Structure 1
Amino acid sequence: MILEFGTKAETLATLNKVKLSAKIPFSIYFSYKEWMGGNHGIIKSVHDNILGRLIVRSSCMAEDSHSQSNAGAFLSVANVEFGFLESAIEQVFSSYGEHPDDNDQVLVQPMLEHVVLSGVAFSHDPSSCSPYRVINWYEGDNTAFITSGCGGKIWISSSHVSSDKIENPYISQVIKLIDELLVYFGGVPVDCEFAFTKSDDCLTLWLLQARPLILKSRSDPDHEHYKRLRQIADKVELGMSEHPFLMGKRTVYGVMPDWNPAEIIGLRPKPLALSLYRELITDSTWAYQRNNYGYRNLRSFPLMLHFYGMPYIDVRLSFNSFIPANLPDNVAGKLVDAYIDRLLDKPYLHDKVEFEIVYSCYTLDLHQRLQSLKNEGFSEREISTITEHLKTLTNKIIDPELGLWKEDASKLDILKERRERLLQSSIGKLDTIYWLIEDTKRYGTLPFAGLARAGFIAVQFLKSLVSVGVFTQHDYDCFMNSLSTVSGQLSHDRDILSKELFLNKYGHLRPGTYDIESPRYDEAPDLYFDWNSSTSNAASMSSPFSLTLNQMKSISALLRDHGLKPDVVGLFDFLESGIELREWSKFEFTRNLSDIIALVGSYGESLGFSKSEMSYCDISVFKELQVGAMDPVDAIRRSIDVGMSRYKDSLKIILPPVITSPDDVWAFELSEANPNFITQGVTTGHVVTDSNKDHFSGAIIFIQSADPGYDWIFSYPIAGLVTAWGGANSHMAIRAGELGIPAIIGAGEVLFKKWSSVSRITINCAAKKVDILS
């Protein structure tokens, strides 16, 4: 028997007649016509049948239909005492409009008592339209918490996961209920509200509402969805075993550990962006740099793989690459396994692995930090061995005369000179694209990777100065604010340069550095800047920082006692240069990258392809066209078709930020992240997204990533910044700290969605706290 949806009240009444694993509260409902015809009998019926407090709920003809849900559009009144019942009913009918339809209804039920958990559940994910059971719940007695948009926990599982396979008893029962509703309503996607009550240790599931779930397109057949997830799970399974050339018994996959793809190209990048990131960095450049700087040789291992176009970092590879090259294999393997166990224990640290999980360099507080290894089975001798190898490696990097970062910095001038020669030459676009790619790897991303490593080491060393008591947090902040960065220079130049000169210098930047569909600054300058006002957030170019005599003496003694090569002057030259050059090298190599993307777009346009179409093209096709004689239209069209198909598949898949086993592909809880709070400040403001720049003044701006192309945001007088993705050492973290703007970098999907859906918040960075005001 296939049931039909009706109004809220009618659907519950229909479901009350069939066998369900959930209970439905006793209900009395009536139409507007019946109410206006005389309400005495209705009031008496409620009095005679329902004891205690009541909830008066909307059940309008305009809600819960197959075409629109109008969820939350009409009033419901909770905790109503019987004496106020008539008034509450009038309020609900009034919320339908000035002239309610005669058939509009109101539903009266008892207020549930001893509620321990409540939420909403979907049979399909509304965004992807795929058959995922999505459950959003809140632990507590407020049944309106989730429906009011205040967040809560989120569980996602494929329709192929049986309810009896799920350990959480709450989730298991709700999924069973969803499956029952799908059967009764003939497979029509369903949206329901539920609550659990607990009395005398007896747990009861209540169904509070069921309605059709309105999807923007039809869901794929279950077998197609299963096929995709099966292939991903099989790929993950391969990483759960040992590899002959790697330390560590198994791996973990994440969207943020090491080179942060979620931050730089997004969770579902178009194929051109994904292939460019692989080509320029994660296929080989990343490993060459690590090995050059004294870490283990991981050459020929691609760091990033993708699941139907969704990029993930192979964490075992990353952790191997942070091991000093000459560390004995037995200690190295033990260390990699310890790192992986730490991440498995605290997966929310996936965007902080270098600060919270691995030991990638020597610092003044390393001895104290390494003590935790004793609890992980390491002997004093092994810890001493790790210490000495990290010290040797670090000395090689920070050497004041022969430091590896100095050679990397010199390559940026070669990159610039070769780029100018290429762009002024008469070679064709394909040759120019090819050589810009090769030069970007050799003279751009390779030295950038090295300078980024130097920057990470510099920040860790600065933090250790705080840890050992030589610096206060204020000293640390003052040093960071004293640095001359690209962002600071941009803000300064925005005020003093003409529009033409400014765009000549910074015009290659774009939000979404690898995204061909994101306009460069010089392609849409008025989209990003208000040329009639100054940059209100622009800090002075830099505030001088100086050490006290006591600090210099303390640091000098520490360097000597720890066996580190530089003197105080040499150390601070490294600390300053490492952080500054990280930003400048990124600025320079993205000139090449931006020109590559522009040439790909113009070449495609010459063959009749739009930028949107070219975003689905893999960059490898241009390398093939450069070396072979073939029909370029046919080659690009085939690449676009393959890329478009894969991208469409990626939109139908939901995966967790950290995948620890094949089971995570099928079902997972989206846990809250551990965000990075920048500055010690407090700020309050309205929540505004980056697409609404007219309301930036005094607002807290929400953007997906900490991409440097979003630097234009700081030309407005914003009150704060929140990003979904980004690490403590990301570009926007440094920039916010430099300007003293309270910011949250890397909020994660759950918190970002929660905070961005409200109107006004307060961010307290010192307390690491966010308050929702409205």
Structure 2
Amino acid sequence: MRGYRNTAVRFEYGTKAETLTRMSELVRSATVLPLEFFSVDEWRVNPEAVLAEIASRPWSDATLIVRSSALSEDRTGSSNAGRYLSCPNVLGREELVRAIIRVIDSFDDGNPGNQVLVQPQFAEAVASGVVSSYEPSCGAPYRVVNWTGGADTTEVTSGGTEVSTWYYLDGNSEKAPADCLSGIPGLVTELENLVGPDPFEFEFAATASGALVLFQVRPLAGARPIPQGERHGQLVRACQYQVQLLNQVRPPALGARTVLGIMPDWNPAEMIGVRPRPLATSLYRALITDSVWAESRARYGYRDLTDVPLLVDLGGLPYIDTRASFTSLVPASLDDVLARRLVEHYVDTLRANPHLHDKVEFSIALTCYHFTLQDQLRKLVDADVLTPNDSALLEKSLRELTTGVMADDGPFAADLRAVRLLAATPIVRPADYSPAHLGHLAAACRRRGTLPFSGLARAAFVATSIVRSLVDLDVLSSDDADALLGSANTVSAQLLTDFASLSRHEFLERYGHLRPGSYDILSPRYDEAPDVYFDWSAARTAPPPTAPFEPTNEQLRAISELLVSHSLPGNPENLLTFVQHAVAAREYGKLQFSRFLSEILWEVRRGGEHLGFSADDLSYATFPALLELHGTDGENRRRLTEIVRTGRERHELTEALCAPALLAAPEQLTGFVAASGAANFITHSRVIAPIADVAAGEDPTDAIAVIAAADPGYDWIFTKRVKGLLTAFGGANSHMAIRALELGVPAAIGVGQERFEQCRRAGVLELDAGNRVIRAAGAGRS
């Protein structure tokens, strides 16, 4: 085991106070502040004796902190962290008595053996936090340091502020992200030598000189170390080699290097998750990211990267190759020299600004024409990224490309026709499962579903960019933009209306194929678990019809002048209609192709069950492998058994792999600081409400729904009078962002995993979208 040596006497945890007392005599890498502790029974029998004992300590005249040290705290399996009260800033006898009584009153089990701990309050902290000897959620062999700067040593545990997180593997701790944290690795190793290999965590504070103070050590409740050994190290090294290879020149993708991200394009973190099982990943690749994504962009006038996969499978973690993505968003009419210069600038900008990883098309890449494009081009010329001639060529190319997208005979119109044909195509199930039928479904989904949907999504992005530029020029206000985009006749608006007006059978006939995890075979369809998703007994009221956006005459004149001055065809009415149609078409296209996607998963499950495999088993298979099962039942059963076993073993290692949301260099796989969540806020509204952890089965009625990665399969939450929405992943143009906007639901999309976990435990949240604030507004959860 890492860093563990046999000791003559095995350390035993006690209460918080008892553990600290024992640690004070053993630990050398940190200081334990002097302390006094006593039981509730001792206080009740003779409080004066207790106060006299405290008063006899040389530090008793200083500012004190009175802390709980209950028998039920800091135990293996249940830490009860934060359950009981601590009282800081205690000065003088009267305040001390009040603080002791308050801490005792916070004990809710009535056990007279519970203890109260009194210490001098530490006042020299420049940073503080919590360190775990293993990754707490999955038991991976990473040291995890959550810390925040400043003198307040409670900020990390209270969850009331932005918290930084440093992950590192043993042997890769020399690059501490802050000088004051440089002693943390040595302290972790010393504590592991003392307490043994079982997972633990500790609270600490650091001074400007790097000296550490130890506040608490406890078993890491609920953490079970996964089997590691050399296999984990081999996987990390293999992933590092893969990243190294990806950073070599790889035509037709342009530029000298890349950066990998979980959100920059096609949002795998949102659509299939950070650690998806093999079936979901392989299906997503087959239907979209292997070739469909690039073929669609080539049809819209961008560079053709049809033979370049967009998604990189890094030890089971799905990443987007941003060099390929950026190359595919350069107009095809530009020469290689200019195109390469653009791609390298985009990649370098993302490396320097990792917080933009889910906003690359709005904040980095220039991918369509809009009314403030010339301002963006001017900045690139001023920065010597482009010459004036380059700028003129790029402007011309983007204008022609965008004009083509909006044309009546352009690719957007063609893709919309294709999706409407798909909507009229019935799905016929053969009597028996066959790989040939599964392959037919996949081919139909690609050619007539995800391919045109990819184009519709591109048109929706063009439309959104144009609207944003009108806001930047003060032609539209932010509220006007929300009203314009929200007035699109989208699927989610129709779903709510249909839920109120259709019978249960009719509603499920129309929407029953949807599932929250569109690519996840373990996620039930609406028609497989309707009572989980919908309350059919409650009164169902249709939402008021969406008010059409009515531009003023002044706004129409301003848009008309802009169209003329920017040499764009059409009139204001045509432009606004395109915006609404593009936004609605994107959601309509998703609804239609997801019929075939859902049917693919249904067929996979039917075929697997015929051979004796559960849906859970099948989630570890890969889609291409399933298409190759053409033998007898016995042969297929043996082959599928091996496929599932291999997939399950590989996924166990995937669950032990931690990596940043944006990965630029191989060494980040052994040590990195997680990017803080930079949320995309939707609407300008504010709400205070209890949270509902939807994945845990909690009812989001009159609550803020928190969902790690919410795709359109979660539309059902909007039938529950949901007050707000918060997700760990997602971008400003994601599915749920559009739904929240159209329905006027305040939302924070893509807050990041760390911030999401804090909010999920908050109990009650204040979500102030207009002021871009999320904060705990009530009692949290243990």
The answer to whether the 8 A contact 1:706-1:733 is kept is: no
Change over 3 Å in CA distance of 1:535–1:459 after alignment to 2 = farther
Alignment partner, residue 443 of structure 1: 448
Deviations 1:38-91 (A, max 9, x none): 565653443232231222333344433445433334443333334134554455
Alignment of 1:612-631 (within 5 A): 612-625=616-629, 631=635
Secondary structure of 1:164's aligned partner: coil
- CA drift of 1:770 comes to 2.4
Alignment partner, residue 511 of structure 1: 516
Secondary structure of 1:231's aligned partner: helix
1:698 correspondence with 2:702:
yes
The answer to whether the 8 A contact 1:276-1:619 is kept is: yes
The answer to whether the 8 A contact 2:704-2:723 is kept is: yes
- Of 146, 160, 174, which residue of structure 2 is paired with 1:164? 174
Alignment of 1:56-455 (within 5 A): 56-84=66-94, 85-86=96-97, 88-89=99-100, 92=103, 100=111, 105-150=115-160, 152-198=162-208, 202-373=209-380, 374-400=382-408, 402-417=409-424, 419-420=425-426, 423=428, 428-455=433-460
- CA drift of 1:287 comes to 0.8
Alignment partner, residue 751 of structure 1: 755
Change over 3 Å in CA distance of 1:63–1:260 after alignment to 2 = same
Alignment partner, residue 724 of structure 1: 728
The answer to whether the 8 A contact 1:310-1:650 is kept is: yes
The answer to whether the 8 A contact 1:196-1:204 is kept is: yes
Determine the C-alpha separation between the residues in 2 that align with 1:55 and 1:499.
Answer: 59
The answer to whether the 8 A contact 1:294-1:393 is kept is: yes
TM-score (norm 1): 0.93
Determine the C-alpha separation between the residues in 1 that align with 2:513 and 2:181.
Answer: 49
The answer to whether the 8 A contact 1:47-1:82 is kept is: no
After the TM superposition, which of the residue ranges 710-719 and 75-84 deviates more from structure 2? 75-84
Determine the C-alpha separation between the residues in 2 that align with 1:66 and 1:508.
Answer: 43
Determine the C-alpha separation between the residues in 2 that align with 1:27 and 1:537.
Answer: 62
Residue identity (%) = 37
Letter in 2 for 1:468: L
Change over 3 Å in CA distance of 1:121–1:257 after alignment to 2 = same
The answer to whether the 8 A contact 1:656-1:664 is kept is: yes
- CA drift of 1:730 comes to 1.6
- Of 598, 601, 614, which residue of structure 1 is paired with 2:602? 598
Letter in 2 for 1:566: G
- Of 643, 652, 657, which residue of structure 2 is paired with 1:653? 657
TM-score (norm 2): 0.92
1:544 correspondence with 2:565:
no
Letter in 1 for 2:26: V
The RMSD of aligned alpha carbons is 2.5
Determine the C-alpha separation between the residues in 1 that align with 2:521 and 2:166.
Answer: 32
Alignment of 1:548-559 (within 5 A): 548-559=552-563
Determine the C-alpha separation between the residues in 2 that align with 1:771 and 1:65.
Answer: 29
- CA drift of 1:409 comes to 1.6
Deviations 1:151-171 (A, max 9, x none): 542323233244433252133
Secondary structure of 1:722's aligned partner: strand
Letter in 1 for 2:335: P
Q: Which runs of 5 or more structure 1 residues have no equivalent in the other structure?
A: none
Change over 3 Å in CA distance of 1:425–1:372 after alignment to 2 = same
Letter in 2 for 1:127: S
Determine the C-alpha separation between the residues in 2 that align with 1:289 and 1:424.
Answer: 29
Determine the C-alpha separation between the residues in 1 that align with 2:730 and 2:377.
Answer: 26
Q: Which runs of 5 or more structure 2 residues have no equivalent in the other structure?
A: 1-6
Determine the C-alpha separation between the residues in 2 that align with 1:299 and 1:523.
Answer: 37
Determine the C-alpha separation between the residues in 2 that align with 1:33 and 1:478.
Answer: 64
Determine the C-alpha separation between the residues in 1 that align with 2:536 and 2:170.
Answer: 55
Change over 3 Å in CA distance of 1:215–1:758 after alignment to 2 = closer
Change over 3 Å in CA distance of 1:520–1:111 after alignment to 2 = same
Alignment partner, residue 585 of structure 1: 589
After the TM superposition, which of the residue ranges 216-225 and 356-365 deviates more from structure 2? 216-225
Letter in 2 for 1:521: Y
Alignment partner, residue 4 of structure 2: none
Change over 3 Å in CA distance of 1:165–1:680 after alignment to 2 = closer
The answer to whether the 8 A contact 1:153-1:671 is kept is: no
- CA drift of 1:667 comes to 1.5
Alignment partner, residue 495 of structure 2: 490
Deviations 1:349-407 (A, max 9, x none): 1111111111111112110122221215322111111111111222222223x211111
Change over 3 Å in CA distance of 1:388–1:124 after alignment to 2 = same
Change over 3 Å in CA distance of 1:479–1:101 after alignment to 2 = closer
Change over 3 Å in CA distance of 1:45–1:613 after alignment to 2 = same
Change over 3 Å in CA distance of 1:163–1:470 after alignment to 2 = closer
Secondary structure of 1:653's aligned partner: coil
After the TM superposition, which of the residue ranges 73-82 and 349-358 deviates more from structure 2? 73-82
Change over 3 Å in CA distance of 1:543–1:656 after alignment to 2 = same
The answer to whether the 8 A contact 2:199-2:224 is kept is: no
After the TM superposition, which of the residue ranges 67-76 and 700-709 deviates more from structure 2? 67-76
Letter in 2 for 1:589: F
Letter in 1 for 2:705: I
Alignment partner, residue 522 of structure 1: 527
- CA drift of 1:726 comes to 1.4
The answer to whether the 8 A contact 2:199-2:223 is kept is: no
Alignment partner, residue 713 of structure 1: 717
- CA drift of 1:767 comes to 1.8
Determine the C-alpha separation between the residues in 2 that align with 1:32 and 1:764.
Answer: 42
Determine the C-alpha separation between the residues in 2 that align with 1:74 and 1:676.
Answer: 35
The answer to whether the 8 A contact 2:182-2:210 is kept is: no
The answer to whether the 8 A contact 1:55-1:76 is kept is: yes
Deviations 1:747-773 (A, max 9, x none): 221222222221222222222222432
Deviations 1:470-524 (A, max 9, x none): 3333332222222111111111111111111111111111111111111111111
The answer to whether the 8 A contact 2:330-2:367 is kept is: yes
Determine the C-alpha separation between the residues in 2 that align with 1:413 and 1:485.
Answer: 14
- CA drift of 1:452 comes to 0.8
Alignment partner, residue 12 of structure 1: 20
Change over 3 Å in CA distance of 1:325–1:645 after alignment to 2 = same
Change over 3 Å in CA distance of 1:70–1:629 after alignment to 2 = closer
Change over 3 Å in CA distance of 1:606–1:162 after alignment to 2 = closer
Alignment partner, residue 3 of structure 2: none
Determine the C-alpha separation between the residues in 2 that align with 1:42 and 1:227.
Answer: 57
Letter in 1 for 2:35: S
Determine the C-alpha separation between the residues in 1 that align with 2:109 and 2:331.
Answer: 74
- CA drift of 1:613 comes to 1.4
- Of 24, 33, 46, which residue of structure 1 is paired with 2:54? 46
Determine the C-alpha separation between the residues in 1 that align with 2:422 and 2:134.
Answer: 50
Secondary structure of 1:767's aligned partner: coil
